[in-house]
Structure 1
Amino acid sequence: MSFRRGVVRQSKFRHVFAQAWKAEHCIDDVRVSRVTWDSPLCAVNPKFIAVIVESGGGGAFLVVPITKSGRIDQTCSTVCGHLAPVLDIQWCPHDDNIIASASEDNTVKVWQIPDGGLVGPMTEPLVTLEGHSKRVGILAWHPTAFNILLSAGCDNVMCVWDVGTGELVYQLSDAHPDLIYSACWNRDGSAVCTVSKDKALRVIDPRRGTVLKVREKVHDGTRPMRAVFLSDGKILTTGFSRMSERQMALWDTKDLTEPMAMQEMDTSNGVLLPFYDPDTNMVYLCGKGDCTIRYFEVTDESPYVHFLNLYSSKEPQRGAGYVSKRGLDVNKCEIARFYKVHERKIEPISMTVPRKSDLFQGDLYPDTAGLEPSLLAEEWIAGQDAPPLLVSLSGGYAVPPSKHRDTMRGRPKLASQDSGAGAPAAAAPTATPTAPAVARETEGETRGNAADGTADRLKKEDDVLNEILAEMKALRTVVLAQSQRIEILERQLARIEDGDV
C-alpha cells in the first residue's frame, strides 16, 4: 500500500502563530465601558487606539497614540461630546485623524483628532448627524468613497451620510422589519450586506434603496449574528444554531439557497466578532467573553473555509481592535495585530508568519488599500463605483502625494483648509514657479519668469473653474438624491392614505 503524499493542505499561513506583547507594552487602568451592546469596544488605525470608556452623565471614548503604553491617568482627556453612552466607534479609512462615533443619544458624531492625541477633553465634533429616532449602534465607512458613512440604529433604519456636507443622502426605513445586528460594505462599496433579528441575510443597494438578495434563517439561533463581505463577493456569517452552538457559514451571493460551508464551534454564549483581511483572505473570530481567537483561511477549494489555528490565553476578552495592514511591522512578517480589550487593560497580540529571511516577503504582503480614496462623495452618489487604490508595503508604508487632496481641501470636506491636522498628506501647492536653470542668460530668465507667471495665472483660473464645476455637480447630485427621497415619501404617504399601513 503506497503512502499518499499531499494530504496536508499547502498554505503559507498554516504556521501563523500568535503572540501577546510583553506587559510593558500594554495599556493599563482603562475604565472600559460596561454597556451590553455587542460591539468590539475598540478601534485601531496606524496612528491611534480608541476605546469606549465609562463616563458619568454621558458617553465618552479614549484616544491615545498607538505607541502609548503603561498606565492611563484617570484625568486623561477623552472625546466626551455625546449625551448618552457610546455604542460604536470607527476610524475613517481615508484619514487617520478622523473618527466617527454612534451613541444611545440617537446621533452620530464625527471628530478630528489632532496629531499626537488629545490635549484636553474634546466636546465639539466636526459634524453631528441626526436622522435616527432611537439609539445608533452600527457604523461603517465606505471603503473607497471619501466622506461616505453608513449608520444603523435600533429604529431598524439604515442611513447613508455625506459627512463633508452633513447631508443624509440615502435612508432605508423599510428594508428591515427588526433590529439590525451588523452591516458591511462590499469591496468597491456598491452594496451592503446586513443581518438582523429576523435571522435573515440581506444584500442591499443603498443608492437605489432596494434589497438585491435575501436569505431567511441564515442561522437558526436567536442570539445576535454578524456578516462580512469577502473580497470576491462571498459573505461570511457567524451566529448560533437552534441548540445554541456557535456557527460560521460561507455564502455565495449568486445562490443563497444553501451555504457553501458551515462549521460549528462550541456552545459558548459570546457573540463571534469576525475580522476579515482581504489581502490574505484570512478570517479571525474573536468571541466576546472568550479566551481564544480562532483564525481561518478562505479558499476557492472545498471545504472553502480551512481552520488554521487558535490563540488561547487565560483572560477573556471584552472586545478587540484590529489594525489595518498599513500599521503592521513588515520586517517581522506580522500579518495581523489585535488589541485585546480586558476589564482594565488593552493588550496587543501579533499574528506572524515564521520566516528566516530578513528581506521583504512580497508573497505575504500583496498591495493593500491605502489612504487615498478612489472616489469623491458626489461621484459615488452619482452612481460611480471603484475598487480601492492599492499601495505597496515594501520598505514600510509611506503616505503618497494625493491626487485628490487639493479638490478635497477646496470643498467643504473634513480635511479643512484651516487645520490641516486631519489630512493624511500635506497638499502640494497648486502652482509652483519653475526655477530657471543657473546657466541661463538674464533675458532668458526674464522670459521664463514671465511664462511662469502666465502659467500660474492660467492654472489658478482653471482651478476656480474646476471648483465651480465640481460644486455644480455636487449640487446636482444632492438635488437628485432629494428628489428620490421625496418620491419615496410620496409613495409612503399614498400607502397610508390607501390604508395599506
Structure 2
Amino acid sequence: MVNDIPCIKNLYSDQWNTAFDDLQICTRITESCGIACSSEYIATPWQVQGGGVIGVIKLENMYRNPPVYKLKGHTSNILDIQFNPCYNEVIASSSEDMSIRIWEVCNKEDKSEEIKKSLCILNGHKKKVTIIDWNPLNYYILSSSSFDSTVNIWDIENEKKAFNISMPQKLTSLKWNNTGTLLTATCLNKKLHIIDPRQEKICTSFVGHTGGKCAKNIWIDGYSGNENYILSTGFSKNYMREIKLWDLKNISDPISTISIDNASAPLLPHYDESIGIIYVIGKGDGNCRYYQHSEGVLRKINEYKSCLPFKSFGFLPKQVCNIYKCEIGRIYKNENNKSIKPISFYVPRKNPNIFQEDLYPPIIKHDPNYSSKSWINGNNLEITRINIKDLTDADIKIYKKFKTVPKSMDSILIGDPCLDKRSFIIRQFTKRFTFFKKNNNIEFNNNLNISSESSFNINDSEQTEEKKKIKISIEDIDNDKNKSGEISDRLKEEYVQTETIEFNKIEENTNSNKFLDTITCKKWFGKPN
C-alpha cells in the first residue's frame, strides 16, 4: 500500500544565528556522522588527550560555553555514538578499545558534570568497533560492526551477545530496516549485503558500486517507501560519486542512478521515512543535497550551500521540529570543531500557523515494553503510529518557553491587603521569584521570605517610605477558602521548586481559579495531587 505523500517542490534551508559556542569537539575523522541527537540532548566526541570522552549538551542550552556532561569510560578514541530511539537519555558508544558502552544521561541541573560509570559494557569484538545501530522497534537490541569483519547483535537487557555473523570483509555501513528484522551492509569488496541476524546468515549479496572507495546504504522503506527498496552511495569506476536506488526483487540493475561529482569524501545519506526526503552530505563538503523519493523515482529538490565544510553533523528527530514554522528537518553542523550550528529546512506555506497534516504524517509510536527475549525468539512487533500533534508536551517542550499551569496544580498567589479581602493583584510585570528550601524555610529573592511553619512576609520595594511589612498567617488563609484554598496546602506540604517562575500581570479578579488560568511558568515540574 502506497501512502499519499506531498510532492515537495520548494524546500529552503536557513542557518540559525545562535549556536553552541566554545566547545572542544574531537578533531579525529570517523566514518559515522560524528554527532548524535535526541529530543533533549546533543552528543559528540570530546577533545581530550588520549580520547575516549563524549560531551553531551542540552539542546535548550544553545549559547556560549554551555554546561557539558562528560561521559568518561573508554580508553581510546570514540568511533560512533547513537541515542536510543525510544529513551532519549540513553546513548551507546563504540571505541577503538574494542568495547561498546551504554550510558544514561540524567542531568536535571544545568551544570557540567562527569559520568565515569556506564550502564553496561559489551565486550566481544577482537578489533576496534566502527559502527553501531539501534534496532528501531526493540530498544534493547543493538547491532555493531568491527574491523574483525563480524556483525554482532547485542541483548542490552541481559548484557550479552545474542547473534554473530561473519562477513567477507570490513563493513563500511550497517543499517536496520524499518521493522527491525533485517540489516543492510556494505563491505570493502564492493558488495551490498542483506543480513538476517536471527538466522545468522547473509540472504542476498550483489555489487553495488564499481569504485574502490567505501560505500554507504540505507533502507528506503516506512511510510513513504517500499520494504524492498535500498539506497546506496558510492563511487563509479571513474571515481565519480553516485547515488543508486535498488529493488531487492531485481538486483541486476538499479532502479535509478544519479551522478554527483568527483569529490573524494563518501556521501552519508539520511532518510525521512514520513515524507520521503533523502539528505546526502559528504564530510568536507559545504553542500547538503536533498531529494524526494516517490514510487521508485528520485527527484532532486534543492541543496544547502556553504563555504564552510561539514566536519561532523547530526539530524534532530522529526517530532522535535517546529511544526508551526513548517520545519521538516534540522541538521546540527560542526564547522570548526569549536561550535555547532543548527540548519533548519522549511517548506513555504501560506498559513504555517495551521498544522500541515501532509508534511507531518503519523510517526512510529514507541513501545518500551517490547522485550529483547521476544525479539530473539522470532516475534516481530507490528508498527503503530501516532500523529505528531498528539504527542505529549515532553516531546516538544523545547519550543514551549511558557506553559500555562492547569487548574488542578497548586500555585502561590500573593495578596495585597490594600485591596478588598477578596481581591488580588500581582503588582509587577514578569516578576521573577527564585526559591529554594533550607531548614524548612522557603526563601525568595527580591526581599520576599515565606516560612513554611507559620507565616510569610512580603517586603515590597515599591511601597511607601515606611516599607510596611505585611504578614498573613496560614490560619487566616485556611479560614477563607475564597481567597485561595490551595495556598495552605502548598505551604504545609513544603512543595519546593528549584526553577524560575515568571508571573505575568494579572488584573483584579475575585475568582481565584482565573488566576491559575493566567499564571505562566518558564519551567514547571510540579504534578497535580
TM-score by length of 1: 0.74
Q: CA deviation at 1:30?
A: 2.1
- Distance (whole Å) between structure 2 residues aligned to residue 221 and residue 64 of structure 1: 39
Whether 1:341 aligns to 2:334 is: yes
Q: Summarize deviations over 1:71-115 as a string: whole Å, max 9, x none.
A: 236x94411210000000000011011000000000000000004
1:329–1:145 CA distance, 2 compared to 1 (3 A): same
Map of 1:466 onto structure 2: none
Q: 2:99 aligns with which of 103, 107, 130?
A: 107
**Cα deviation, residue 31, structure 1:** 2.1
Supply the distance in 2 between the matched residues of 1:11 and 1:266 (Cα, whole angstroms). Answer: 29
Give % identity: 29
From the two aligned structures, give the one with the greater helix fraction: 1
Q: RCO higher in 1 or 2 (8 Å CA, sep ≥ 6)?
A: 1
SS at match of 1:331: helix
Q: Could you tell me how far apart the structure 2 residues matched to 1:146 and 1:250 are? A: 28
Which of 154, 168, 174 lines up with 2:161 in the alignment?
168
Alpha-carbon deviation of 1:254? 1.3
Does structure 1 residue 130 correspond to structure 2 residue 120? no
- Residues 246 and 267 in structure 1, CA contact (< 8 A), matched pair in contact too: yes
Q: Distance in 2 between matches of 1:63 and 1:367?
A: 29
- Cα shift readout 1:451-482 (whole Å, capped 9, x = no counterpart): xxxxxxxxxxxxxxxxxxxxxxxxxxxxxxxx
Cα 1:385/1:193, change in 2 over 3 Å: same
Q: Do 1:84 and 1:105's aligned partners in 2 also have CA atoms closer than 8 Å?
A: yes
Contact 1:60-1:80 at 8 Å conserved across structures: yes
Given that residues 269 and 280 in structure 2 are in contact (C-alpha distance below 8 angstroms), is that contact kept between their aligned partners in structure 1? yes
Change (3 A) 1:392 1:27: same
- When you count strand as a share of all residues, which structure comes out higher? 2
Q: Of the candidates 240, 243, 248, which is equivalent to residue 243 of structure 2?
A: 248
Which residue, 289, 294, 297 being the options, matches 2:292?
297
CA distance in 1, matches of 2:173, 2:151: 11
Q: How far apart are 1:389 and its partner, in Å?
A: 3.0
Counterparts of 1:400-479 in structure 2, within 5 Å, are none
Distance 2:87 2:63 in 1: 27
One-letter identity of the residue aligned with 1:38: E
* 1: CA distance, partners of 2:299 / 2:392: 30
Closer, same or farther in 2 for the Cα pair 1:389/1:16, shift >3 Å? Answer: same
Contact 1:250–1:262 (Cα < 8 Å) also in 2: yes
Could you tell me how far apart the structure 1 residues matched to 2:213 and 2:24 are? 27
Matched residues in 2 for 1:374 and 1:209: separation? 25
The one-character-per-residue Cα deviations of 1:294-337 (angstroms, maximum 9, x if unpaired) are 00001115xx1111100111210112100111211111111011
| Matches of 2:257 and 2:104, distance apart in 1 | 41
Look up the equivalent residue of 1:226 and give its one-letter code: K
* Aligned residue in 1 for 2:518: none
Conserved? CA contact 1:317–1:340, under 8 Å:
yes
Which among 23, 32, 35 is matched to residue 39 of structure 1?
A: 32
> What is residue 12 of structure 2 aligned with on the other side?
17
CA distance in 2, matches of 1:261, 1:57: 44
Q: How much is the aligned-residue C-alpha RMSD, in angstroms? A: 1.8
After TM superposition, the structure 1 stretch with the greater mean CA deviation from structure 2, 48-57 or 366-375, is 366-375
**Displacement of 1:374 after TM fit?**
7.3
SS at match of 2:73: strand
The residue number in structure 1 matching 2:212 is 222
1:96 is matched with 88
1:322 aligns with 2:315: yes
Q: Partner residue of 2:267?
A: 272
- Deviation per CA, 1:108-140: give whole Å up to 9, x if none: 000000044775211110000000000001010
Relative to the length of structure 2, the TM-score reads 0.70
Gaps in structure 1 of 5+ consecutive residues: 1-9, 401-501
1:246 CA displacement: 0.6
SS in 2 for 1:165: coil
Unaligned runs of 5+ in 2: 396-529
- Is the contact made by 1:146 and 1:373 (CA closer than 8 Å) also made in structure 2? yes
Match of 1:81 in 2: 73
Instruction: Please tell me whether Structure 1 or Structure 2 has the larger radius of gyration of its CA atoms.
Output: 2
Secondary structure of 2:113's counterpart equals coil
What amino acid maps onto 1:106 in structure 2?
M
Q: Secondary structure at the match of 1:149?
A: strand
Q: Distance in 2 between matches of 1:320 and 1:387?
A: 31
Deviation at 1:167, TM superposition (A): 1.1
- Count residues in correspondence: 383
Secondary structure of 1:28's aligned partner: coil
**Paired residue secondary structure (1:280):** coil
The residue number in structure 2 matching 1:236 is: 231
Relative to structure 1, the CA distance from residue 81 to residue 282 in structure 2 (aligned partners, 3 Å threshold; closer, same or farther) is: same
Distance in 2 (alpha carbons) for counterparts of 1:137 and 1:374: 29
Distance 1:77 1:45 in 2: 15
